[in-house]
Structure 1
Amino acid sequence: MNQISPMAFVHPEAKLGNNNIIGPFCFIDRNVVIGNNNNLMNSVTIHTGARIGDNNEFFPGASISTKPQDLKYNGEDTLCEIGNNNSIRENVTISRGTASKGTTKVGSNCLLMENMHVAHDCVLGNGLIIGNSTKLAGEVTIDDCAIISGSVLCHQFCNIGGYVMIQGGCRFSLDIPPYITAGKEPTRYCGLNLVGLRRRGFSNETIDIIHNAYRIIYASGILKEGLKEARTKYPDSKEVEYICSFFEKSKRGVIR
């Protein structure tokens, strides 16, 4: 049984699961699917194309599946998918996709803090923490368990690796590789995210391997040779393989 405020609007074509709370002044458009046990506090807007899982909380002013801020968007039917157990705080805006990818995706167990923006066709992983007023431009990809501090500006098409910590106020147009701390101006490699890795259960041995791999890669005059050396030295490390593959797949280049 859903609890829908009489001061909320739910389009008759929207599909709601069970035990959802829809607060006053919420607006739920057509072509919206919402799962179970979600809490929409007052003044939350869910636009067409939203696909929302279970156990999410949306704070006042959140606007989900908004029209993309992309001049190439021509009104095509696209989606905004949000997983489970997310906390989406006040005034967060998440755009739906464009014809480029068709879908903007947010994983599960994420905390998106007040006033941050997720643009069209972004793909966000699981377990993310993204700080107040951070802005992600179109088609940004973020892997699992990344932490992005407040007031960060991320250029379109950037990739951010898993388990990173990006310091507050950074702005960047290059990819951020996994397991590291990124900061300063211009944004660059500032060592490993030691606190985050230990909190996530990485052993000291694994952390040492990751550290040595980065030392090899960044010390190499030719990136390809550094990646080859790191793989040769640690052939059985899935973390080193993830790092090397991230560098090889980068189209924008990786911070140094």
Structure 2
Amino acid sequence: MIHPTAIIDTGAELASDVQVGPYSIIGPGVRIGAGTVIGPHVVIKGPTVIGEHNRIFQFASVGEDCQDKKYRGEPTRLEIGNHNVIREHVSIHRGTVQDQGLTRIGDDNLLMAGVHVAHDCMIGSHNIFANTTGIAGHVHIGDGVILGGMTGVHQFCRIGSYAMTAGCSLVLKDVPAYVMVGGNPAAARSMNFEGMRRRGWSADLIALLRRAYKLVYRQGLTLEQALAELDQLPQSLELALFVDSLRASERGITR
């Protein structure tokens, strides 16, 4: 299960069936759950907790000190959930004391080759980040988000659940739930209506969200005016997710 050339610190805790490939290094303060497979030439630094049935490919760097110049070696953490796929050359950094001291990644995410997740990011579940996507510090990303290849996300941005970015997008402001953006800087294009249909959402629900999108993006209203109009629509959990992502924005939304 563990290649003889791998270096496992005595302060690391690995479940009995964890596989570790050649020349990988696992440091102290690392805990890895059952069924996880670590490829060759992977470096994992603690304090880091990795859940069950993850797969980490060669040359990934997981749990390293962050690149924030304010970081002075304080004890910070990285938490990764279950069933994630972390491809080649992905880098994921621990948090800073300027935030919660924690970087967190949920379950069932696919981080393609070359993705960078910076310090203090909070990433949900069922996301896909395509090749060489760069996510700066303190970014919050919901569930079911797709980031196109070479997307760049500015620090402190929020990307709501089920949003999408086109390839080579530069996200400088918050992206509300469901919204599709593209360009440099990114601008709103539509909602992910095709994704809604694939999830089996009803035509009436999709029409409701289409109406909500038009209120925010097509009627020339301020955000406050649009939120007042949204409160008058038939309410649903899906609409509430959109509205909540608008209200949570601190940087302003991508228009």
TM-score by length of 1: 0.96
Q: Deviations over 1:13-39 (max 9, x none)?
A: 101112111010000000111110110
Report the Cα distance in structure 2 between the residues aligned to 1:85 and 1:121, rounded to whole angstroms.
21
Contact map agreement 1:124 1:143 (CA 8 A) in 2: yes
Hey, what does 1:229 align to over in structure 2? 229
Hey, what does 2:175 align to over in structure 1? 176
Report the Cα distance in structure 2 between the residues aligned to 1:240 and 1:220, rounded to whole angstroms.
20
Alignment-mate amino acid for residue 85 of structure 1: H
Alignment-mate amino acid for residue 39 of structure 1: V
Report the Cα distance in structure 2 between the residues aligned to 1:81 and 1:110, rounded to whole angstroms.
13
Alignment-mate amino acid for residue 102 of structure 1: G
What is the CA distance between 1:207 and its match in structure 2?
A: 1.1
1:155-194 aligned within 5 A: 155-194=154-193
Alignment-mate amino acid for residue 233 of structure 2: K
Q: Deviations over 1:54-100 (max 9, x none)?
A: 00000000110010000111111111100000000000000001102
Equivalent of 1:10, from 8, 11, 35?
8
1:1-256 aligned within 5 A: 3-99=1-97, 100-218=99-217, 219-234=219-234, 236-256=235-255
**After TM superposition, what 4+ stretches of structure 1 lie above 3 angstroms from structure 2?**
none
Matched residue SS, 1:240: helix
Contact map agreement 1:231 1:240 (CA 8 A) in 2: no
Report the Cα distance in structure 1 between the residues aligned to 2:51 and 2:184, rounded to whole angstroms.
38
What is the CA distance between 1:227 and its match in structure 2?
A: 0.9
Count of residue pairs the alignment pairs up: 253
Contact map agreement 1:98 1:121 (CA 8 A) in 2: yes
Matched residue SS, 1:65: strand
What is the CA distance between 1:220 and its match in structure 2?
A: 4.2
TM-score by length of 2: 0.96
Alignment-mate amino acid for residue 233 of structure 1: L
**Unpaired segments of 5 or more residues in structure 1?**
none
Matched residue SS, 1:181: strand
How big is the alpha-carbon RMSD for the aligned residues of Structure 1 and Structure 2?
A: 1.0
Report the Cα distance in structure 2 between the residues aligned to 1:233 and 1:108, rounded to whole angstroms.
33
Name the % identity: 38
Matched residue SS, 1:232: coil
Contact map agreement 1:13 1:30 (CA 8 A) in 2: yes
Report the Cα distance in structure 1 between the residues aligned to 2:199 and 2:82, rounded to whole angstroms.
20
What is the CA distance between 1:200 and its match in structure 2?
A: 2.3
The farther-off stretch of 108-117 and 217-226 is: 217-226
Matched residue SS, 2:119: coil
Report the Cα distance in structure 2 between the residues aligned to 1:201 and 1:104, rounded to whole angstroms.
33
Report the Cα distance in structure 1 between the residues aligned to 2:120 and 2:78, rounded to whole angstroms.
8
